[in-house]
Amino acid sequence: MSLSPTNAPARKTSPYKVLANRDYRLLWFGQLVSQIGTQMRLAAIGWQIYVLTHDPLQLGLIGICRIVPLIFFSFIGGPAADAKDRRRLLLVTETILLFFSAVLALVTVTGVVTVWWIYGITIMTSIANAFERPAYSALIPSLVPRTQLGNAMSLNTVNFQISIILGSGLGGTIIAIFGLQGAYIIDAVSYLAVTLALLLIKHRPIVKSGNRVSVKAAFEGIHFVWKQKILVSIMLLDFFATFFGTSRLLLPVITTEVLHSNEVGFGLLSASEFIGGLLCSLVMGWVNVQNLKKPGIVLLVAVFIYSLSIILFGFSNWFPLSMLFLALSGAADTVSMVLRQTIAQLVTPDELRGRMQSINMIFFMGGPQLGEMEAGIVAKAAGAPFSVVSGGIACMLVVLSISYYARQLRDYRFEKNH
C-alpha cells in the first residue's frame, strides 16, 4: 500500500484496517505496553511521595517538576524531531527513560530514596519526554496512508485510554504485591517493547539536510503555527477548555463531601471519564473522522458538550448520575482530541510536524496542570461544586467565543483542504 498523500476522500473502513500497516502496528503495540508501564510508574510516584512525606503540597510539586521542564525543553525537542531521524531520536529517548526508571527502582529497593530523588528523576524524564513526544507524534503520519490518518489518531486515543485504565488499575495491585520497586521495574522493562518496535520498523525517514536544531528553527515553528489560524484556534480551545474544565483534582472532595462515598466510589468516579473516552474512541475508529463534512463544527460541539457535562457533574449529588456525566465528558473530550490531532497533522507539512507538536504539547499539557491550581483556589474559596460548575460555565463561554471568531475552524473541510 502506498504511503503517498492522496486527494481521494477517506473511505468508511474498519478502525483495525490501519493496523494492517506493519510499521504502525508494531509502534502501536509497543507504545501500548510502554504506556501501561508509565501509568504504573506515575501511580507509584504519587503513592511513594505521600508515604514519605504525608504532605499534599509535596505531592502537588510533582506536577511542577513535570510541566516546567517539558515546556522549556519542548522548544528544543520540536526542532530536533524535524532535524533528526525521528526513529533514532525515539530510540535514544526510550533508552534514557528506561535508565531513569531503573534508577528509581534501584534507589527504592536499596532504601536510599528521598523525595529529592523522585523530583530529580521526574525532571529528567520530563526533559526526555520533551524530545520523545514530538518525535512520536510526527512519525505517525509517515507510517500510514494519508486517508487513514483519522483512524490512526482514533487508535492512538484508544491506546492512551487503555494504558490509563490498565496501568492505573494494575499499579495498585503491583505495589501491594511486589512493592513500589515492582512498579518501577515493570516500567523499565516496558520500554523494551517500544524499543524493539522501533528497531523492527522498516520505514526510514528522509531527513532534509537544511534542517538544524537552532533558535531560528524554533521560531520558524512558532511563526508557522501563528500564521495557521486554525492551529491557533484548536490550541487555544484545548488550553482553555482543560484549564477551566479540569475537575479531576477535586474528585476526592466531591466523592466524600457531596456524594458521601468512599475509596471505592472515588475509584469508580476516576475511571468513569476514561471508560467513556475509551468507548468513544472505539466508536470513532469505525466512523472515520475524515469522512465528516464539517469537522470544525463537530469539534466545537464536542467541546460544548464537554462543558455542559462538567456543569451537570458539578450540580449532581447522585452517584450514578455523576458517573454518567463524567463518562460523557470523557467521550466528548475524546471526540475533540481525535479531531484536533487529525486536523493539526493534516495542515502541517512533514518538515514542521515536530515543531508544531512541541508547541501543541505546551497547550494540551499546560491547560490541565494550571487548571488544577485554578480549581483548587476556587474550591478553597467557594467550595468544590462551585469550582466545578463555574469552570464548566467558563469553558462554555470560551467555546462560544471561539465559535464566533474562528471562522477558519468553523469552515474547515477535509475534502477542501486535502
Q: What is the domain partition of the chain in residue ranges? A: 17-149+163-202, 223-418
| Separation in Å, CA 95 to CA 35, 118, 191, 205, 229 | 14, 19, 7, 20, 37
Greater confidence (133 vs 63) lies with 133
Region 287-309: mean pLDDT is 90
Residues 6+ apart with CB under 8 A from 142: 3, 203, 205, 350
Task: Give the helix/strand (H/E) hosting 184.
Answer: helix 180-200
Greater confidence (221 vs 266) lies with 221
Q: Can you tell me the distance from the alpha carbon of 314 to that of 325, in angstroms, rounded to the nearest whole number?
A: 9
Give the model's pLDDT for residue 415. 60
The string of pLDDT tens digits covering residues 5-49 is 334 444 555 656 888 999 999 999 999 999 999 989 988 888 888
Give the model's pLDDT for residue 10. 45
Task: Give the helix/strand (H/E) hosting 159.
Answer: helix 149-178
381 burial via Cβ count (<10 Å: 0-12, 13-18, 19+): exposed
Give the model's pLDDT for residue 211. 63
CB 342 within 8 A of CB 149: yes
Residue 312 pLDDT greater than 90, yes or no: yes
The string of pLDDT tens digits covering residues 85-114 is 999 999 999 999 999 999 999 999 999 999
Q: Say whether 223-418 and 17-149+163-202 share the same fold.
A: yes
Give the model's pLDDT for residue 416. 47
For domain 223-418, give the CATH superfamily.
Answer: MFS general substrate transporter like domains (1.20.1250.20)
Query: Does the domain formed by 17-149+163-202 have CATH 3.40.190.10?
Result: no
Q: In 3D, which of 198, 134, 147 has the Cα closest to residue 3?
A: 147
Per-residue exposure over 49-62, b if at least 16 CB sit within 10 Å of its own CB, e if not: beeeeeeeeebebb
The string of pLDDT tens digits covering residues 176-203 is 889 999 999 999 999 999 999 999 998 7
Give the model's pLDDT for residue 8. 43
Q: Can you tell me the distance from the alpha carbon of 28 to that of 30, in angstroms, rounded to the nearest whole number?
A: 6
Give the model's pLDDT for residue 1. 33
Q: How confident is the prediction for the chain on average, in pLDDT? A: 87
> pTM to 2 decimals?
0.81
The string of pLDDT tens digits covering residues 365-382 is 888 878 877 887 888 888
